[in-house]
Amino acid sequence: MKKIVFAIAFAMITFLGTAQENKTVYFSGANNFRIGYAGVLSSSDDKVQGGIDFGFNLIEFGVRPYKSGAISLGVDFMVESIGTEDGYYFNTVAHKTSVIPAVGMKEVRRSRADVCTFGLPLNFTQTIGGKLAVTVGATARINLNADTYVDYTNATDDRCSFSVYGIPTNRLTYDIHMAVTYDDFGIYAAYAPMKVFAPGAGPEFNFFTVGAIFRYQYDE
């Protein structure tokens, strides 16, 4: 399922990677890419650790109420990959996951829970001096079911792995975010206050993200 979603997202980038605009209205595709750290907050299980945040813009429609300001609505694709403390892993049974000690495993090399999300960001961007841009906004997030993945070595040093798909998430959540870029490179931060998993489907936690953002400005 995750591979299909990635394929659709990249196909949309290829198809929509153009820009159309006039002085006050614009439409563009694939204008930013970001990668950073996803930190766990308010977790019911202290063995849940942070991980990787990854996302990119698919399309964006905006208006410029004045020359240096823009209000935009877009579609983003995002992935949060949350890990566990060393010696623990995500154990998933009957569409529910929990973090348990790695009994019977010699070493857990990696254990993570991945959540793919389509976002609808509403942003305001102020450009200063032509190169410095400050963006603030909020994103309505449509979360797909989560997957868990475990990579480990067993007692005889064999490398093993397994994945489980379909853990229910809170389908509709949101975040608030900001970004500061200079000459199309900068930093971003976001806070998602709602819990990731659906009630009873996994550890209760929310998260924040920080990282680097890269913007692409189409020729006008």
Using pLDDT thresholds of 50, 70 and 90, give the confidence band for residue 173.
very high
| Percent of the chain's residues with pLDDT above 70 | 88
Cα–Cα dist 161/109, whole Å: 10
CA dihedral 97, 103, 107, 108 (to 10 degrees): 0
Segment 83-95, tens digit of pLDDT: 999 999 999 999 9
Residue 113 and residue 98 in contact, taking contact as beta carbons nearer than 8 Å: no
Please say if the pLDDT value at position 18 is more than 90. Answer: no
Please say if the pLDDT value at position 49 is more than 80. Answer: yes
Please say if the pLDDT value at position 16 is more than 70. Answer: no
Domain spans, the chain: 2-215
| Percent of the chain's residues with pLDDT above 90 | 79
Q: How far apart are the first and last CA of the chain?
A: 37
Tell me how far CA of residue 47 lies from CA of 28, 40, 73, 75, in angstroms. Answer: 41, 10, 37, 33
Q: What is the pLDDT of residue 17?
A: 45
Average pLDDT (50-57) is 96
Q: What is the pLDDT of residue 36?
A: 98
Using pLDDT thresholds of 50, 70 and 90, give the confidence band for residue 130.
confident
Residue 163 DSSP code = E
When the pLDDT of each residue in the chain is averaged and rounded to a whole number, the result is 90
* Helix, strand, coil in percent for the chain, rounding step 5: 5, 65, 25
Exposure of 143 in the CB half-sphere (CA atoms within 13 A): 23
Q: What is the pLDDT of residue 23?
A: 65
Output the six-digit token pair for 62. Answer: 């905006």
Using pLDDT thresholds of 50, 70 and 90, give the confidence band for residue 104.
confident
Average pLDDT (34-54) is 96
Using pLDDT thresholds of 50, 70 and 90, give the confidence band for residue 218.
low
Q: Is the dihedral of CA 22, 212, 193, 77 positive or negative?
A: positive
Average pLDDT (169-194) is 97
Residue 202 and residue 170 in contact, taking contact as beta carbons nearer than 8 Å: no
In 3D space, the residue among 199, 211, 205, 176 whose CA is nearest the CA of residue 49 turns out to be 205
Please say if the pLDDT value at position 117 is more than 50. Answer: yes
Segment 63-74, tens digit of pLDDT: 999 989 999 999
Report which secondary-structure segment, H or E, holds 3: helix 2-16
Cα–Cα dist 53/36, whole Å: 5
